[in-house]
Amino acid sequence: MEKAALISVYDKKGVVELADFLTKKGYKIISTGSTARLLKQNNIDVIEVENYTGFEEMLDGRVKTLHPKIHGGILFVRDNQKHKETVEKLGIYSIDVVVVNLYPFEEVAKKTSDEHELIENIDIGGPTLLRAAAKNYQDVLVVCDPDDYEFVINNFNSIDINTRREFAIKVFAKTSYYDGLIAKKLSGNSIKKQMGLAFSVVSKLRYGENSHQEAFFAKDPLQAGLPELIQLNGKELSYNNLLDIDVAYRIMLEFEPTTCVIIKHNTPCGVATSHSLTQAYLNALNCDPVSAFGGIIGVNETVDEELAKLIVERFYEVIVAFDYTQEAVDILKTKKNLRVIKVGKHLEKFYEIRSVVGGYLIQQNDDKIIEKYEVVSKKQPTQQQIEDLIFAFHVAKFAKSNAVVYAKDKKTLAIGAGQTSRVDSAKFAIERAKQLNIDLKGCVMASDGFFPFRDSVDEAVKVGVEAIIEPGGSIRDKEVIEAADEHGIALLFSGIRHFRH
């Protein structure tokens, strides 16, 4: 029985050299369309699929390799006598090598949402050939990646069943990824009952949250975001760095005015909006300069020389911004370990996926902003208080629940987060402010969730809070409103909750 290699590729890189190698190894080359033409132009003997099968391409090339003489030659079990007799009787070659890569659906999907163009770039024959060959990896070598051609050429005589199995696994991962892309794009990024998760690994990280945990950084191929970051200086990014950068990045996108945020352990320890970038940084830092040590700075502007000089005076792990002046980069590089990260502005809805034991939790990202609010107290807030309340509520959205934020003049004064009781968060932030000699008199307060009791209001007024915003919706809302009226402060209900676990 004559042995053959089937070669049909969209990406032609290296295919001539591989085909020439296989020819010299005694394989007949079966090929299709543009691949066959390229090989012939390079003086490689090729049997075109239609001549082999006796069935011409049809439907503008949609049907080429879907034929028993192709798939029979791939799928028959070599040590099964009945299988061998069948293929010999039908004059089928033993197709022992399959080299296929796919139509560029991913590249097209990034450029267009035109349904016709997308559909025409959905490969049918390619995945079918790859999956058939991968299923029969015990007898067939399947190669789906041009980057593997050199390995195949250099190690062909020593390729064993274990190597063929690894190549087969790569195929199933590739076709799963490919189908996941198609499902995601055509569904408009909505969630269906059954879906494959398409991602590509950007890098392997040194370790995860702890040194004994393996970790990777992967990207969603159809969505821009952090995997496109550009690192201008510093050590390799860690798993924890990336978690913190993610929070900083979300806050950078949340605020349109010039804003600086300092993140520590995945929660903000200082946020400020100001007319100047330097002032925004100083205001954010003053909220909690102790916690800021070793933190991550996020800036939604271009970092200039003035800010860079201030940043290098202290120890930070990372600074992330939309851009930097060259003078700023030069200054920041004097801290050789400081990771200097540049990111693009990409704000769109997406689904967050979180693993639990044996499953996943999936939710749409929290992109909700305050569109309206209700003043439920007798006391009416001033315009400045309203602006500060909205600012504080936006910050609370990114602090770990239970989150309470005290703010004034669009800068945080104290943040309480991650406590198991809301009043404990309120008290923690107050105590932290006292430790840092921060005066809370005349500030506002925001809570990411409703107050289950009036106790948080009572604690707030003790330190001079004059206005509060919270979602409302508690069975004790009346009690909380009465507390606000009793103390003569303004109370707003946002109607929006921003839990972050």
Asked if 141 and 156 touch (Cβ cutoff 8 Å), the reply is no
Q: Which amino acid belongs to residue 299?
A: V
Q: List residues bridging with 204 in a β-sheet.
A: 216
Contact 388, 394 (CB under 8 A): no
Neighbours of 84 (CB within 10 A): 15
Task: Output the CA–CA distances (angstroms, integers) from residue 245 to 225, 235, 293, 297, 347, in the order listed.
Answer: 11, 15, 15, 8, 15
Write the CB contacts of 394 (distance below 8 Å, at least 6 apart in sequence): 254, 255, 369, 370
Taking CA atoms, 190 is separated from 179, 196, 460, in Å, by 15, 12, 42
Pairing outcome for strands 339-342 and 318-324: parallel
Structure-token pair, residue 472:
């409302």
Query: DSSP strand E in 380-489: where?
Result: 404-408, 411-416, 444-447, 467-470
**Catalytic residue, candidates 265, 309, 333, 379:** 265
- For 229, the 3-state DSSP assignment is coil
Q: Which of 3, 83, 84, 135 is catalytic?
A: 135
Give dist(CA 370, CA 44) in Å, integer. 66
Is 57 within 8 Å of 33 (Cβ atoms)? Answer: yes
CA dihedral 74, 80, 82, 87 (to 10 degrees): 20
DSSP type of residue 222: T
Active site residue 212: no
Question: What DSSP character marks residue 32?
Answer: -
Cα separation values, 20 from 9, 14, 156, 213, 397, Å: 15, 10, 13, 44, 60
Contact of 363 with 352, CB cutoff 8 Å:
yes
Do strands 359-364 and 351-356 pair parallel, antiparallel, or not at all (unpaired)?
antiparallel
CA distance 59 to 111: 26
Cα 83 from Cα 76, distance rounded (Å): 6
Told to judge if 12 belongs to the known catalytic residues of this protein, a careful annotator would answer no
- For residue 152, what are its two tokens? 């195949």
Active site residues: 135, 265
